[in-house]
């Protein structure tokens, strides 16, 4: 009877995993429970199959193909046409699997001039792929962020790289930051980030017309568009600015605004800094400095280049 009950629980787990693998509670514990109950030798194959299934469930939720392109932030849209065989095969494979997503990572240049690959990136949705001869034209829409487990990186037969990733949630990161704070000053870091984030859309006496930083940047950027309608299209892509009590998301939104795709050449590149920052306050600080220096560049106060 005990064995029958154990197998029934396991069967229920397998059915649930087939339809909703991410929602299955602690599959390793189930496998360990069955092992501790010493199933007979005839069940060895079953246990091996179960362990394989557990591994597949974990891979499905945390292993993603990775492509090195430009650094992207959530909400950004990258339109490109490429003839890279590995990328084309990856797109075909993901579309055939009805999972049109993969990870995009960028590079950063150190003060020494050395370029390094970032461990932080974004998952992108492949939209409207058009295969044309030996190339493919597509749109990549950036979504949730991740950090790569560099010990899990492996190359596939298809020619691309895969790795396990940790998905990053802004609210969870901010809450964890508060919980791990060792001092009052550290605990106030997120509160300071929220206070600073209010500056982005608050009227400023230091700007023409008492405009906010965001409104003044948009006003000046319209005068520096590379093609008509570029800023309107950019704003449609990134949507409304997140509220100030979501400082990390607000900082990423500002980064997507002032470092658009394609680039306008009116701002310093802050996307790698935003992706690798370790606190909400750091992200807001990078975004504030970036948008202010971009405004000064466009209004002629202090040129960046």
User: Average pLDDT over the chain, rounded to whole?
Assistant: 85
Whether the Cβ atoms of residue 68 and residue 119 lie closer than 8 Å to each other: no
Please tell me the predicted confidence (pLDDT) of residue 14.
30
Please tell me the predicted confidence (pLDDT) of residue 8.
30
Whether the per-residue pLDDT at 49 is higher than 80: the answer is no
Q: How confident is the model at residue 21 (pLDDT cuts 50, 70, 90)?
A: very low
Measured at the CA of 142, the angle between CA 275 and CA 114, to 5 degrees, comes to 40
Q: What are phi and psi of 122, to 5 degrees?
A: -135, 150
Please tell me the predicted confidence (pLDDT) of residue 28.
53
Please tell me the predicted confidence (pLDDT) of residue 112.
87
Please tell me the predicted confidence (pLDDT) of residue 109.
85
Q: How confident is the model at residue 110 (pLDDT cuts 50, 70, 90)?
A: confident
Whether the per-residue pLDDT at 197 is higher than 70: the answer is yes
Q: How confident is the model at residue 91 (pLDDT cuts 50, 70, 90)?
A: very high
| CA pair distance 49, 70, nearest whole angstrom | 40
Tokens standing for residue 141: 């829409």
| CA pair distance 123, 199, nearest whole angstrom | 29
Task: Quick: pLDDT tens for 198-213.
Answer: 999 999 999 999 999 9
| CA pair distance 88, 79, nearest whole angstrom | 15
Whether the per-residue pLDDT at 26 is higher than 80: the answer is no
Q: How confident is the model at residue 43 (pLDDT cuts 50, 70, 90)?
A: low
Biggest distance spanned by C-alpha atoms of the chain: 81
Instruction: List 82's β-bridge partners, or say none.
Output: 136
Query: What is the reported pTM?
Result: 0.80
Task: Quick: pLDDT tens for 245-304.
Answer: 999 999 999 999 999 999 999 999 999 999 999 999 999 999 999 999 999 999 999 999
Locate the DSSP E strands across the chain.
Answer: 63-68, 77-82, 101-109, 115-132, 135-148, 154-155, 161-168
| CA pair distance 295, 301, nearest whole angstrom | 8
Please tell me the predicted confidence (pLDDT) of residue 22.
36
The mean pLDDT value for 22-48 works out to: 52
Cα first-last separation, the chain: 77
Whether the Cβ atoms of residue 34 and residue 47 lie closer than 8 Å to each other: yes
| CA pair distance 106, 272, nearest whole angstrom | 8
Please tell me the predicted confidence (pLDDT) of residue 59.
55
Please tell me the predicted confidence (pLDDT) of residue 6.
30
Residue 261 is classified by DSSP as S
Residue with tokens 């950019």: 234
Residue with tokens 């150190």: 110
CA-atom Rg of the chain in angstroms: 24
218: helix, strand or coil: helix
Whether the per-residue pLDDT at 219 is higher than 50: the answer is yes
Is 26 or 291 the better-scoring residue by pLDDT?
291
Residue 242 is classified by DSSP as P
Neighbours of 103 (CB within 10 A): 22
Whether the Cβ atoms of residue 257 and residue 238 lie closer than 8 Å to each other: yes
């Amino acid at each position: 009877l005990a064995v029958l009950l154990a197998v029934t629980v396991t069967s229920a787990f397998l059915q649930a995993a087939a339809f909703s693998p991410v929602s299955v509670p602690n599959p390793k514990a189930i496998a360990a429970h069955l092992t501790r109950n010493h199933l007979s030798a005839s069940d060895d194959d079953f246990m091996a199959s179960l362990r394989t299934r557990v591994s597949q469930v974990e891979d499905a939720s945390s292993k993603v193909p990775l492509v090195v392109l430009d650094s992207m932030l959530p909400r950004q849209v990258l339109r490109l046409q490429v003839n890279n065989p590995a990328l084309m095969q990856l797109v075909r494979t993901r579309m055939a699997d009805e999972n049109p997503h993969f990870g995009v990572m960028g590079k950063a240049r150190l003060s020494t001039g050395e370029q390094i690959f970032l461990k932080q990136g974004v998952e992108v949705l492949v939209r409207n792929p058009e295969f044309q001869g030996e190339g493919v034209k597509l749109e990549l829409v950036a979504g949730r962020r991740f950090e790569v487990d560099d010990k899990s990186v492996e190359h596939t037969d298809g020619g691309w790289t895969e790795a396990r990733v940790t998905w990053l949630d802004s609210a969870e990161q901010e809450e964890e930051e508060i919980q791990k704070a060792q001092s009052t000053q550290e605990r106030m870091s997120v509160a300071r980030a929220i206070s600073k984030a209010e500056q982005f859309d608050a009227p400023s006496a230091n700007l023409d017309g008492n405009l906010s930083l965001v409104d003044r940047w948009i006003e000046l950027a319209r005068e520096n568009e590379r093609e008509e309608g570029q800023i309107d299209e950019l704003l449609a892509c990134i949507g409304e600015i997140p509220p100030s009590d979501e400082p990390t998301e607000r900082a990423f939104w500002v980064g997507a605004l002032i470092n658009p795709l394609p680039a306008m050449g009116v701002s310093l590149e802050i996307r790698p800094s935003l992706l690798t920052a370790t606190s909400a306050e750091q992200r807001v600080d990078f975004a504030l400095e970036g948008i202010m220096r971009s405004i000064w560049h466009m209004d002629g106060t202090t040129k960046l280049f």
